[in-house]
Amino acid sequence: MNRKSILHTSFVLFSICFLLGNCYFNPLVNGLLNPEVKETDSSPLLGLAGGIGSQSFTVSITGQIKVFGAPLANTEVSLVNLSYSSKDNATSSTTNGAGRFYLNIPTGLQTLQFTDSGTLVTIKLMVSEMAATVVTVDNLSYQVQNLDIYVLGEEPPVYLELMSSIPYDGLLINSSNYEMISSKFIFNFSEDVAHPEDNDNILWASNNFIITPSIEVSSVGISKSSVEINFSGSLFPSTPYTITMNSGIKTTSGKTVRPTIMQFMVGEF
């Protein structure tokens, strides 16, 4: 291309840009190169996204506290290390006759404390919107059972309560206390227990008191609020046992036991 042609082409391009008003910064050209995107206020969405992983929700929780398997009644249980404030939050509760407390609690790792006869006990719970689990109890004499989460502001669930049992959760059986077990397990409830409709107590017990490792049950007695399971043979030494109680244990009005798992250990005799 000769010098004259180059000058002519450059003049034409310069003229077009000049007419359009500095090509890139001209609204017409800039609009073609960079189509306008309408701005929206995304702050609420960002807040929601940020809260998914970090925001704490408040739920209601209930559970039973026991000492050596018996309900710890009339004891104030408090939520400690509060990181939130709300005028309707119940941050302490006095246990009822079944050892049951009711609290409003934020989700996440939470700490409860109570004092029993001068002994301070600390419980750590992991709480979600659907469930709660015990992380630690710093005194092995105390147990936390039947934790339940329900919606804030709603009525708490009502259960047939296990008041005491032999064995109880966390019990260590050895030569010094084996006689308390002997050849039977005893469970005492808060109300009278309904007899099975077919009057087959052994079948009813095998479905609702699941014992692992299994034992051979010889008879089952139901007397008002007490259930006695008699077994033949003896427990295996150096063996952990689990008893799972199911909701087939109920009152005549239909109130059921909350499914509960108890663990005890048989040591050396």
CATH code for the domain in which residue 185 is found = 2.60.40.1220
Is the distance from CB of 242 to CB of 262 less than 8 angstroms?
yes
Q: What is the pLDDT of residue 84?
A: 54
Residue 87 falls inside a structural domain = yes
Instruction: Compute and round to an integer the Cα radius of gyration of the chain.
Output: 34
**Token reading at 62:** 């209930």
| Residue-wise pLDDT tens digits, 94-111 | 999 999 999 999 999 999
Same domain, 64 and 138: yes
Of 89 and 59, more confident: 59
Q: What is the mean pLDDT of residues 44-58?
A: 50
Q: What is the mean pLDDT of residues 19-43?
A: 39
Upper half-sphere CA count for residue 181 (Cβ side, 13 Å): 20
- Share the mean pLDDT of the chain: 82
Burial of 79 by CB count in 10 Å (0-12 exposed, 13-18 middle, 19+ buried)?
A: buried
Same domain, 166 and 225: yes
Question: pTM, whole model, 2 decimals?
Answer: 0.75
Percent of the chain whose predicted confidence (pLDDT) is above 70: 77
Looking up residue 132, the CATH number of its domain turns out to be 2.60.40
Residue 141 falls inside a structural domain = yes
The boundaries of the domain holding residue 254 are 162-266
The total number of structural domains that make up the chain: 3
